[in-house]
Structure 1
Amino acid sequence: MTSKPSVLVTGASTGIGAAYAERFARRGHDLVLVARNTARLEALADRLRADTGATIDILSADLADTTQRVAIEARLRDDARIGILINNAGTSLGGTFIEQAIDDIDRLVALNTTALVHLAHAIAPRLAQAGEGAIVNIGSAVGLVPEFGMPVYGATKAFVLHLSQALSLQLASQGVYVQAVLPAATRTEIWGHAGVDVDTLSGVMEVDDLVDAALVGFDRREPVTIPPLHDVGQWEAFEAARQAMIPGFAQSRPADRYLATA
């Protein structure tokens, strides 16, 4: 890519996605913005065109809908100008697992995991062939903390982290950078989806601060960026402990603690 690549941002109409769109436009990138709310996308695009001169395309789609998602996948496969994917679209649910309707759970899983995988899969082969490009997957610190009591949402975000780390290991040698971004509580509309008043929470990060921090990690090519974690040594220790277990998984017999006693 001889010029700056275009950036496709999902969930771009508000919150984290809109902030990413603004930051990349100000960095001189053209944009493809994807979300369900066309009016919001148009308002954002008009403002960014006026402020930055960026060329901005709008694609209205519900990524949880397979039929609507196909057009976005095709754009990622076929448009060689797009060199960065910001996989940001996602949602949450309120209530406990047994209180949540299975149809709502299906939609959450479809948006937070299936759509994210499909879009990454649509662009990755082309980026690998070009030998450059980036995929940014927005996960959540909740994926590391089952104690937060968000079993399905947290599981989808654990999926995002695992997928991102595994893709990073596979694609880095082909020139493709993959970043997982793990926010904690951030002031976005997702709280309303879960029936939570964000103003009642403490330690909530503003969207601009989150995205600016995530972009520092992006520029440094961090595989995992956790903006709210001040002690990076804790993450490094977590990763070291996980990796230390790997050789122990290759065993032909169960651990002694699982053997029947006489």
Structure 2
Amino acid sequence: MSSKPAVLVTGASSGIGAVYADRFAKRGHDLVLVARDLGRLETLAERLRRETGVAVDLIQADLTRIADITRVESRLRDDSRIGVLVNNAGAAILGGFVEQGPEQLADLVSLNVTALTRLASAVAPRFAKAGDGAIINIGSVVGLAPEFGMTVYGATKAFVLYLSQGLHGELSPKGVYVQAVLPAATRTEIWERSGLDVNTLPAVMETGDLVDAALVGFDRREAVTIPPLPDAGQWNTYETARAAMVPNFGQVHPAERYRTAA
């Protein structure tokens, strides 16, 4: 058993989650891997045990099901060895808002928002009490870009960013690190599952490159890591402009521009 904190990764059977499992295993961390596909989890776990010698536990779970998510929550609350949560599980759906059915949308929000929030909520009190721990939430640049037209998916990822920034402000003084990772298009199975050929996209990052970059941000303790963004100054300018508005929100009267008829 490793002396380093164990890492729980959701959506770990493939894509970004599987690469996070690989990278943390190679850093010497024991793992708890969560996904629906037990066969693929077992194949990944066998390889990681053989190559790195770490302990790997598996939880087969569909995080849109209450009974399954409750089991993962219990593990996060009760297993003091777990010191890092990688909230990676997520999905996307194709089509415009008017073409997407209510069941599709409910499942998307359940996985991308509700499950992620519940798992963070399950582990945050223990981390805060211990004064240590890390939560990595996988968002998307789509959450910053309604121009992309992925309305509900983008809204779920905007939620992930907001939640992560809020948790960073609340938990960092207590010793808990929270990181939002915002990938752009990355070569994962999310595209195939949503019905889109990833090879038709103009620019796609390889999964290993994405996770390696995200872990550089993790080691630097960045609150927000955007691997595809060449100029960090653009994000800093965006945040500065946003923060500059905040003092102006507390007003007794509407702004002058709304008190004059057009």
Fold equivalence (TM over 0.5):
yes
1:128 and 2:122 equivalent? no
The DSSP-based 3-state class of the residue aligned with 2:105 is helix
Note the C-alpha offset of 1:202.
Answer: 1.6
Partners of 1:25 and 1:54 within 8 A in 2 = yes
Partners of 1:94 and 1:193 within 8 A in 2 = no
- Per the alignment, residue 101 of structure 2 pairs with 101
Letter in 2 for 1:183: P
- Per the alignment, residue 194 of structure 1 pairs with 194
Letter in 2 for 1:147: E
Note the C-alpha offset of 1:66.
Answer: 1.1
Matches within 5 A, 1:147-226: 147-226=147-226
1:115 and 2:146 equivalent? no
5+ long unaligned stretches in structure 2: none
- Per the alignment, residue 244 of structure 2 pairs with 244
Note the C-alpha offset of 1:147.
Answer: 0.4
The DSSP-based 3-state class of the residue aligned with 2:57 is strand
Q: CA offsets, 1:44-91, max 9 Å, x none? A: 000000000010000000001111110000000000000000000000
The structure 1 segments of at least 4 consecutive aligned residues displaced by more than 2 Å after TM superposition are none
The DSSP-based 3-state class of the residue aligned with 2:95 is coil
Letter in 2 for 1:132: D
Q: CA offsets, 1:186-232, max 9 Å, x none? A: 00011112211001112100000000000000000000000000011
Please give the TM-score of this superposition, normalised by the length of structure 2: 0.98
2: CA distance, partners of 1:130 / 1:22? 26
- Per the alignment, residue 10 of structure 2 pairs with 10
- Per the alignment, residue 143 of structure 2 pairs with 143
Q: CA offsets, 1:212-253, max 9 Å, x none? A: 000000000000000000011100000000000000001111
The DSSP-based 3-state class of the residue aligned with 1:128 is helix
2: CA distance, partners of 1:67 / 1:105? 20
Q: CA offsets, 1:111-158, max 9 Å, x none? A: 000000000000000001111010000000000000000000000000
- Per the alignment, residue 28 of structure 1 pairs with 28
2: CA distance, partners of 1:216 / 1:202? 25
2: CA distance, partners of 1:257 / 1:192? 48
Partners of 1:25 and 1:52 within 8 A in 2 = yes
5+ long unaligned stretches in structure 1: none
2: CA distance, partners of 1:108 / 1:193? 12
Note the C-alpha offset of 1:103.
Answer: 0.2
The DSSP-based 3-state class of the residue aligned with 1:40 is helix
- Per the alignment, residue 39 of structure 2 pairs with 39
Please give the TM-score of this superposition, normalised by the length of structure 1: 0.98
Partners of 1:95 and 1:194 within 8 A in 2 = no
Letter in 2 for 1:241: A
Note the C-alpha offset of 1:258.
Answer: 0.9
The DSSP-based 3-state class of the residue aligned with 1:165 is helix
- Choose 24-33 or 186-195, whichever is displaced more: 186-195
Note the C-alpha offset of 1:259.
Answer: 1.0
1: CA distance, partners of 2:134 / 2:3? 15
- Per the alignment, residue 72 of structure 2 pairs with 72
Partners of 1:164 and 1:180 within 8 A in 2 = yes
Q: How many residues align?
A: 261
Note the C-alpha offset of 1:174.
Answer: 0.5
Give the alignment's Cα RMSD to 1 decimal.
1.0
2: CA distance, partners of 1:36 / 1:169? 33
Letter in 2 for 1:66: I
